[in-house]
Amino acid sequence: MAYKYELHDFKRFLNDRNASYRVDGLVFWQNRIPLPVDLFNRMFGEADLFLSLYLDHIVAALIAQGHTRQLFGGRIGFDALPGKEVQAMKGSVARGFGEIIASDSKYAHTAAALAGLLGIDDYRPNGGRLATAICHQGKKYSRLYLPERFREIIRKSHKVAVQVIGCDNTDMFGNVVADNYDIYRSGFSDALSIIFNLLVEFRLLCGGASSSVQRVSLEIEEGQEGVAVEVKKTSDGSLWEPDYGDDHVLRLNPEHPFFRAMVTNGQTRYLNELLSTLARFEYGQFSDTQRKLLENMRQEVSRDLWIKYDQ
């Protein structure tokens, strides 16, 4: 069955794989584990971020397996990685990663090959990021998921590492996602790991295609002054929010389904004017109670429109 790299088809892909993966109102069910559909949608919208973190962990694991003593001076074994014990030596570990990447091209070549499959074209391994990744406290690299297409690439230059990475339950990355959103691990980690692993498979199936959401730059006219509208993901996933940085007064979320419908149908000017007025009104409130009321209204309206237009 053909799929496009978009949210609706990802949900269809999951349901085709397992009928118990489904959306029911405001809940995405992964078997019997309920996830807020907003969280699920946000995770898909931020896939490039998580895939870059995922690559950081893979590259960190590959280098650490081959250079454990050089990086940790014999104080930490590979079986204990990643772990918070690395935090005390993070600076030296970052420098060590950087030196190894610069001196042995196989790690950069492997990273480029994996990133190419995922469509993360600007990914470059960096000592600082790898050190941050390897300080993660949670499940170990024996449980880091590696799809078979990744294993084929890794086997060419890292024959030992491919035998010890991802050889267990392959549920490690759910903790990384949970920590990124600052949510309770035990409640969501297993579901998030399964969804993320299948997101990797979906990305590979779609040829590493990036999101098809059209990103455009919009302006509206208000009297004699042009009012800039920034098209960028909002801080809480709402369709719009006030944004007074760099002279913008309104930020519109291109990942919101209603925005996609609006752009597709060419109905932007009057809606932008309406939302910019609401944004100015919200921003201009001095009462914390009143501002919170307007913020809740914006979030609830955005949520209802998301559900209605998320087809």
Asked if residue 68 and residue 194 are part of one domain, the reply reads: yes
Same domain, 283 and 175: no
In a shared domain, residues 254 and 192: no
Residue 225 and residue 199 in one domain = no
- Residues 122, 201, single domain; the answer is yes
Are 144 and 287 part of one and the same domain? no
Specify whether 81 is located in the same domain as 175: yes
Task: Give 152-195 pLDDT, tens digit per residue.
Answer: 999 999 999 999 999 989 999 999 999 988 887 777 888 999 99
Neighbours of 222 (CB within 10 A): 14
Single residue among 168, 183, 205 that ends a domain in this structure: 205
- Residues 76 and 55 sit within 8 Å (Cβ to Cβ): no
- Look-up: residue for tokens 């209204």? 297
* pLDDT tens digit sequence for 85-129: 999 999 999 999 999 999 999 999 999 999 999 999 889 999 999
Phi first, then psi, for residue 276 (nearest 5°) are: -65, -35
Please report whether residue 210 resides in a domain: no
Specify if 82 maps to a domain: yes
- Same domain? 130 vs 266: no
Instruction: Tokens for 35, please give them.
Output: 């996830």
The pLDDT mean for the chain works out to 85
pLDDT of residue 246: 55
**Position 211 in a domain:** no
Q: Is position 90 within any domain?
A: yes
Determine the average pLDDT of the residues in 141-157: 96
Q: Which residues pair with 251 in a beta bridge?
A: 230, 241
Final residue of a structural domain among 205, 235, 257:
205
Q: Which helix (H) or strand (E) holds 221?
A: strand 218-222
pTM of the model: 0.70
d(Cα 289, Cα 292) in Å, to the nearest integer?
5
213 with 24: CB under 8 angstroms? no
- For 201-235, the pLDDT digits (tens) are 999 999 876 544 333 334 444 333 445 678 888 87
Q: Where is average pLDDT lowest: 72-76, 155-159, 186-190, 263-267?
A: 263-267
Please choose, from the candidates 178, 197, 192, the residue with its C-alpha nearest in 3D space to the C-alpha of residue 30: 192
Contacts of residue 101, Cβ cutoff 8 Å, sequence gap at least 6: 63, 107, 108, 125, 127
Contact between 254 and 231 under an 8 Å Cβ cutoff? The reply is yes
* Structural domain harbouring 153: 7-205
Say which residues have a Cβ less than 8 Å from residue 112's Cβ, sequence separation at least 6: 123
193 and 133 belong to one structural domain: yes
Q: Given a cut of 90, is residue 265 above it in pLDDT?
A: no
CB atoms within 10 A of CB 96: 21
Q: Pick from 148, 170, 205: which residue ends a domain?
A: 205
Query: CA-to-CA distance for 61 and 144, rounded, in angstroms?
Result: 9
Whether 13 and 133 map to the same domain: the answer is yes
